[in-house]
A and B are shown apart, each in its own frame.
Chain A
Amino acid sequence: MDQAQPLVELTGATVRFTSTVALDRVDFRMFPGEVHSLMGENGAGKSTLIKVLTGALVPDAGVLTLDGDLQHFSRPYDAQSAGISTVYQEIDLLPNLSVAENIWLGREPRRMGLIDAKAMRRQAAAVLEDLGLEIDPAALLGSQSLAVQQLVAIARAISTNLKVLVLDEPTSSLDTDEVAELFRVIRDLKQRGVAILFVSHFLDQVYEICDRITVLRDGALVGEYLTTELLRIDLVQKMLGREASFFKARERAEAAVEPQEAFLSARNVSVGKGITDADVDLAEGEVLGLAGLLGSGRTELARALTGVDHLSGGIIRLEQKDVHLDSPRKALSLGVVYSSENRRTEGLVGEMTIAENIGLALQAQQGPFRRISPARMRELAASWVEALDIRPADIDVPVRALSGGNQQKVMLARLLALSPRLLVLDEPTRGIDVGAKVEIQNLVGEMADNGLSVVFISAELEEVLRVGDRVAILRDGRIVETAPSSDLNVDSLMALVSRPDLPEA
């Protein structure tokens, strides 16, 4: 395949957002009739690369050739007419229109200037049949299952002069049979010489369907590999980066972690398809690290433990008492606090000052009628700014002016002001610089020493090991193992995270 001419070739793609480089001189290529996977953790630049490829984003630098011709896409329409179509995870079709219209919209067959609905349905039926699908073309798209909607999106794509099909997390909401059907369609398209970019965080699926893998990390290219020549564990290591021997576990207070009375004890917790039968035990003053790849259910578990999402099964006990955490508010009143991984969108209010952001949750907990006096609030905020070393140490600065690390500290201060018993931190160190990372990690350690129980989620394995007293390993929504972090090193953890029982390894 290597001798063939690449169908798509992207060289030196660079995308800068205001301060960060999302994509740094990345080269990427795809051959006709191959299924290619793009791998990387959150923030590795996968979606940015896809956007460049599909015309949704214009790169600051870089050259894109398709079939040997130089291309400049300034909008999705350009990419589509050149033959690059995309099916997004959130299916970007129109649920209020029929299946046939979704396939032909913008290109409807017309007779005497008016749309010929009958011909449109007939042609749609032909396209669907060509893919081996039995879907009523006249049905409203919204009345169909997500899997069918996805296949309709593919049908729309192939009804053009399709050369490249980009599938962004196409299987995340499909069940096994539906995935099999999708793979059948993918293999069919592959036969026709279409290049398919298959982006998924399910390693099994990547290994089942893909011929070639490109790995990105922190916006840079790690490398391009043939699937058959890349072991899973190597792939995971390339995605997460860093040599395993480079890190050592954090110094821990000698006091051996006696299995004390569990503060939190969850049994058989299930949430939809995300989490199955998870057992979690957490003692007072203990830090439990949650390790797992993107999509393994780490965020879902955090949300389940903190009342954000409803459990579909299982029980949660706090201090031996059954609790029903049906809302974050209820969880808060019991001292259970969640810090979202999206601190900008789900946490801080950028326009408000540090003091206001810190006081927000406390005021909400107090209720609107017992107002915290501004003086009291400022005093409180100032003490937290000092305790957490937030910079600038000016509580009247709007939060959006702060660096990522300091924003995270403001978030922590807000939660700590509630004097919680259990703190669930979802990727608290994502997107912040190394120095700030270490500070946050140390803070978590100090908080635990003061008796706070912490669940610490991170995509970086060495960080989980450093911070956690014990580590729970998640794979495909299940906790596959919980072990003291002193028994693990980055290598063994990586093997657990990526799946140890490799037949070919």
Chain B
Amino acid sequence: MTAVETAQPERRTLTGALGTFTSRHAAVLPTIAAVAILIVLLVGAQMYFGNFLTARNMSALLLDNAYLMVLAVGMTFVIVTAGIDLSVGSVMAFTGIFGASLLASGVPLVIALPAMLVSGAAIGLLIGVLVQYFNVQPFIASLAGLFLGRGLAFVVSLSSIRVEDPALLWLQSTRFRLGDWYITPTGIIAIVAVVIGALVMHFTRFGRTVYAVGGSAQSARLMGLNVARTTVMVYVISGLCGGLAGLVLTAYSGAGYPRNGIGTELDVIAVVVIGGTLLTGGRGYVLGSMIGVFVYGTIKTIISFMGAEQSWTHIIVGGLLLLFIVVQRAIVARSERGS
């Protein structure tokens, strides 16, 4: 007990303040590292190219990666519960082509949009039920969801379907400008998704239960929390985000395409991890995942500035991922030793 009592006066010194910070916010460190890397990337690119940090370029960063950001919000919920959702890429493809075909056959957007969201959430529900009630590994359950989504996408159409609906195209073509900066409705959707996600994670009982389940599902159950509902819900949220991303991507590309988003699930997992969310669950931030998306997008933009092969994006992202996982392991190991 002596340690507890002496902690009080120590707090006034500088090391004490640092100690208080790490004892309170150790989980933020990986996200801070992601912010640092983002800054290094942006400053470095600006110094190298001279014309990188422009309003146009930065605005495009959000525009080009809006669908990824929406998916990352849902994925953060899932990974914080120590789960994984491999289905998001194909759910996005399925809801995208499904929406496009509805619109092409004359269904108005007010019906097509909810249909997309509901079908995404339904696949998420299926995965969540498999994970929670049939005790299937999240990896396997969501792999089933991946095949289901991709298969359904091909059932809807084997080739791409162009979207003519003006309301949907408006989401992409409208630019709200502020000087040289602009934002599209799709970008607003992504930002709103991040804000809602962050609020839910931090200020609702459901959100805190998500962290609790990731910390230890067994403990959470013993503490009387509703673990089953929470586990199912995170997959539903991820599916819902898949549906929303389908909408954003369809607006962005002006068409639904059944081969969209192959491998996107891995990009999403990568940005979430780079953003500071632990794959082992219990720690992570939706805002961190947003930073992760910006890091990913910046690397992609830098590579296209250099005129190099886009495959370099994956090599660099892979390297960063490795670095982050090692950094996270180190932080976790240190905080475990500390206790």
Q: Is the CB of B339 within 8 A of A177?
A: no
| Residue A257 CB within 8 A of the other chain | no
Q: Is the CB of B216 within 8 A of A94?
A: yes
| Residue A281 CB within 8 A of the other chain | no
Q: Is the CB of B225 within 8 A of A177?
A: no
| Residue A502 CB within 8 A of the other chain | no
From B2, B24, B27, B209, A177 is in contact (CB under 8 Å) with B2
Take A136-B20, A136-B23 as given contacts and tell me if A114 and B199 are in contact as well, using a CB distance cutoff of 8 Å. Answer: yes
Smallest Cβ distance from A127 to chain B, in angstroms?
Answer: 15
Take A136-B23, A143-B339 as given contacts and tell me if A97 and B215 are in contact as well, using a CB distance cutoff of 8 Å. Answer: yes
Our count of residue pairs bridging A and B at CB distance below 8 angstroms stands at 109
Take A140-B26, A142-B336 as given contacts and tell me if A96 and B224 are in contact as well, using a CB distance cutoff of 8 Å. Answer: no
| Residue A81 CB within 8 A of the other chain | yes
**Residue interface mask A381-407, B partner, CB < 8 A = 1:** 000000000000000000000000000
Q: What residues of chain B lie closer than 8 Å to A92, measured between beta carbons?
A: 216, 218-219, 222-223
| Residue B50 CB within 8 A of the other chain | no
| Residue B271 CB within 8 A of the other chain | no
Name the interface residues of A12-58: CB closer than 8 Å to any CB of B.
Answer: 56
**Residue interface mask A51-90, B partner, CB < 8 A = 1:** 0000010000000000000000000110011000010100
Q: Is the CB of B208 within 8 A of A140?
A: no
Q: Is the CB of A142 within 8 A of B339?
A: yes
The distance in angstroms between the C-alpha atoms of A148 and B25, with both chains bound, is 18
The distance in angstroms between the C-alpha atoms of A114 and B208, with both chains bound, is 11
Choose, from A100-108, A215-223, A224-232, the stretch at the interface: A100-108
The distance in angstroms between the C-alpha atoms of A106 and B222, with both chains bound, is 11
Name the interface residues of A182-217: CB closer than 8 Å to any CB of B.
Answer: none
Q: Is the CB of B211 within 8 A of A97?
A: yes
Q: What residues of chain A lie closer than 8 Å to B8, measured between beta carbons?
A: 134
Take A77-B224, A97-B215, A105-B223 as given contacts and tell me if A178 and B208 are in contact as well, using a CB distance cutoff of 8 Å. Answer: no
Q: What residues of chain A lie closer than 8 Å to B30, measured between beta carbons?
A: none
| Residue A93 CB within 8 A of the other chain | yes
| Residue B169 CB within 8 A of the other chain | no
Q: What residues of chain A lie closer than 8 Å to B211, measured between beta carbons?
A: 94, 96-97
The distance in angstroms between the C-alpha atoms of A105 and B223, with both chains bound, is 8
Smallest Cβ distance from A502 to chain B, in angstroms?
Answer: 29
Q: What residues of chain B lie closer than 8 Å to A98, measured between beta carbons?
A: 24
The distance in angstroms between the C-alpha atoms of A136 and B282, with both chains bound, is 21
From A76, A95, A117, A134, B339 is in contact (CB under 8 Å) with A95
Name the interface residues of B204-233: CB closer than 8 Å to any CB of A.
Answer: 204-205, 208-209, 211-212, 214-216, 218-225
| Residue A262 CB within 8 A of the other chain | no
Q: Is the CB of A94 within 8 A of B204?
A: no
Q: What residues of chain B lie closer than 8 Å to A101, measured between beta carbons?
A: 208
Name the interface residues of A421-457: CB closer than 8 Å to any CB of B.
Answer: none
| Residue B36 CB within 8 A of the other chain | no
Q: Is the CB of B221 within 8 A of A145?
A: no
The distance in angstroms between the C-alpha atoms of A134 and B4, with both chains bound, is 6
| Residue A126 CB within 8 A of the other chain | no
Q: Which 3 pairs between the two chains have the least Cβ-Cβ distance?
A: A94-B215, A96-B282, A77-B224
Besides A80-B224, A97-B211, A115-B204, 11 other A-B contacts (C-beta < 8 A): A81-B224, A86-B222, A92-B222, A94-B223, A96-B214, A97-B208, A97-B212, A97-B215, A106-B225, A140-B27, A145-B339
Q: A residues bordering B, Cβ < 8 Å?
A: 56, 76-77, 80-81, 86, 88, 92-98, 101, 105-106, 108, 110, 113-115, 117, 133-136, 138-140, 142-149, 156, 177-178, 180-181
Q: B residues bordering A, Cβ < 8 Å?
A: 1-5, 7-8, 20, 22-27, 199, 202-205, 208-209, 211-212, 214-216, 218-225, 282-283, 335-336, 338-339
